[in-house]
Structure 1
């Protein structure tokens, strides 16, 4: 009995100690004291916050996301979608409410881990880059510059994109298919298995190169613009926007919207090329024309440069920006919601809000 009592008391002591430690961590967080090391629990919370941010932001703009992809890959000789409003009405009329959110399940299955990895990778990359910068400059209180934030964002984007690219590949095909498509992908795993068996494992990474190239300015600029705008506003405090050394939700949403607008405008042509390369090999894709510019046979691309050349040659430079308007309408709230949701969830979970200095 003595040994059992000892074990029981030890367990109670450990439980009390754990509760005390958690209370102290929460107290330190509220008082602005950053813990000396990042615990496993803190890492999980950060990943969870990033996943929630991605799922919430992408679901909020799912209809616009689907319309953007349909505009990017539609056949110019069989125009169905002529703009944002008309396109959404057409989808509603022909496929109903569920048609507006077709592919969103696959999209969220991809974007949740993608967003989690992206935000977490940005924080870790920022810490590493800041440490190297301080070592090189010999300045202990040096801060991240906009260029360094761009580099950290680029690293985060490449890591997240590469880790989840096959999901993005099949999401594009699930989004493009309609009720009249001769072959139907029944879901995420069916699409992955079908592409893998019929087109080979390399098909799951079609369009990866323009995706990675595009993610460097896109994600890099998103983080760089957002963080730099926030820092500038906190330092200058125009119109009294700063309250208690922090920006309100509305101002942070505006920073996120500006970041999204800049990033997507620069990277959008690469997104169009990526999406078209993903459709290669799928005979039921409503793609662009070949050779003489009149045939309705889907184009075949030998690579990213060839895809750019044929798109501009047969459809003009403007084809690189097909779907830009609905994408712009989508990106502004989506990026803003993602950044603010991430920070709010981290705040609720008691994780440090900013990259530690």
Structure 2
């Protein structure tokens, strides 16, 4: 009897061990997948936080930039950065400086999350193809390949969140005196969809996509290439143990933002003006002597470029550039550094530079 109990116990132990081994084998593939999913989520969270923090920090300048881009040249209200900010403060108060920022963050948080994550994935794919083509497994991304990865990331992020950007522009431009009052993001989305049709939510999409290629592409390419150069050459001892300080990384981000926005800015002006087409209450550009209340109508991107230059001159393509420059320098710098810092806090080993 005792021997039968022993045999039964041994059989039970053997069965348990076999089941444990089978469970281990079955879960070996689950852990990496779970880890990969956590890494993706953390990367998206870091990108979202980076976008929200950086955009809120420069919200007043962002609003002034848009107001300068679309204001009637025959009725100037905003004449420069300092005067423009003072005018907003005097007429709309402190809240006026941040009007549209909630909508902006609702757009920029997912946009930034998708943008940073898309850049990482595009970089991996492009690097793999480059290594296969060259036959060099140790090959690294060069500035041109980084530009391509950044362009891909910008197109994906812009397209995914464009309707939010469109209504954000209208919410930012409207004032208390505007006959049309959008009450918020979803009210603006539903109103535009109902009154102007679904295609209206993508007005200005083409110049946006064309503009995002050099803008986001150059941001990533300049930022990473400049960081690599500083780490490798280490001028003035800026790199310590192959790491750059937060201040140095902020400077790299500022340089990247300045280059990118200068190249792409005219397309941003055209995009914003095309977004206002169909909205009769917009404080947009008018034709003639300024007595007409009808804003300029654009049939497309080329038409918008042509009419803007014909009615207002080439300089109109750079309206709002000064507050935008003041805004872009800290905004891009804060976004890049916040992204990397948050990923460090969340314990994600991979950064954009890796």
Give the structure-1-normalised TM-score.
0.89
The superposition leaves residues 181-206 of structure 1 with CA deviations (integer Å, 9 ceiling, x where unpaired) of 11100000000000000000000000
Q: Which runs of 5+ in 2 are unaligned?
A: 1-19
2:12 maps to none
| In structure 2, C-alpha distance between the alignment counterparts of 1:158 and 1:351, rounded to whole Å | 25
2:188 maps to 191
1:84 maps to 81
1:5 maps to none
The superposition leaves residues 230-259 of structure 1 with CA deviations (integer Å, 9 ceiling, x where unpaired) of 000000000000012110000000000000
Larger Rg over CA atoms: 2
Q: Does 1:74 align with 2:71?
A: yes
| In structure 2, C-alpha distance between the alignment counterparts of 1:227 and 1:61, rounded to whole Å | 23
Task: Tell whether the 8 Å contact from 1:293 to 1:314 is kept in structure 2 after alignment.
Answer: no
Q: Does 1:121 align with 2:121?
A: no
The superposition leaves residues 290-316 of structure 1 with CA deviations (integer Å, 9 ceiling, x where unpaired) of 257774520000000000000000000
1:349 maps to 346
1:285 maps to 282
1:163 maps to 160
Deviation at 1:356, TM superposition (A): 7.5
2:305 maps to 308
The superposition leaves residues 252-288 of structure 1 with CA deviations (integer Å, 9 ceiling, x where unpaired) of 0000000000000000000000000000000001111
Task: Tell whether the 8 Å contact from 2:215 to 2:264 is kept in structure 1 after alignment.
Answer: yes
Q: Does 1:136 align with 2:133?
A: yes
| In structure 2, C-alpha distance between the alignment counterparts of 1:266 and 1:300, rounded to whole Å | 25
Q: Does 1:298 align with 2:299?
A: no
Cα 1:263–1:236 change in 2 (3 A) is same
Task: Tell whether the 8 Å contact from 2:274 to 2:298 is kept in structure 1 after alignment.
Answer: yes
| In structure 1, C-alpha distance between the alignment counterparts of 2:64 and 2:341, rounded to whole Å | 29
Cα 1:325–1:276 change in 2 (3 A) is same
Deviation at 1:341, TM superposition (A): 0.1
| In structure 2, C-alpha distance between the alignment counterparts of 1:145 and 1:123, rounded to whole Å | 15
Deviation at 1:37, TM superposition (A): 9.9
| In structure 2, C-alpha distance between the alignment counterparts of 1:209 and 1:186, rounded to whole Å | 27
1:261 maps to 258
Task: Tell whether the 8 Å contact from 1:154 to 1:217 is kept in structure 2 after alignment.
Answer: yes
2:99 maps to 102
Deviation at 1:354, TM superposition (A): 2.8
| In structure 1, C-alpha distance between the alignment counterparts of 2:260 and 2:352, rounded to whole Å | 21
The superposition leaves residues 118-150 of structure 1 with CA deviations (integer Å, 9 ceiling, x where unpaired) of 000000000000000000000010000000000
| In structure 2, C-alpha distance between the alignment counterparts of 1:153 and 1:168, rounded to whole Å | 19
| In structure 1, C-alpha distance between the alignment counterparts of 2:316 and 2:293, rounded to whole Å | 16
| In structure 1, C-alpha distance between the alignment counterparts of 2:244 and 2:42, rounded to whole Å | 22
Q: Does 1:150 align with 2:141?
A: no
Q: Which runs of 5+ in 1 are unaligned?
A: 1-12, 26-34
Q: CA RMSD in A?
A: 2.2
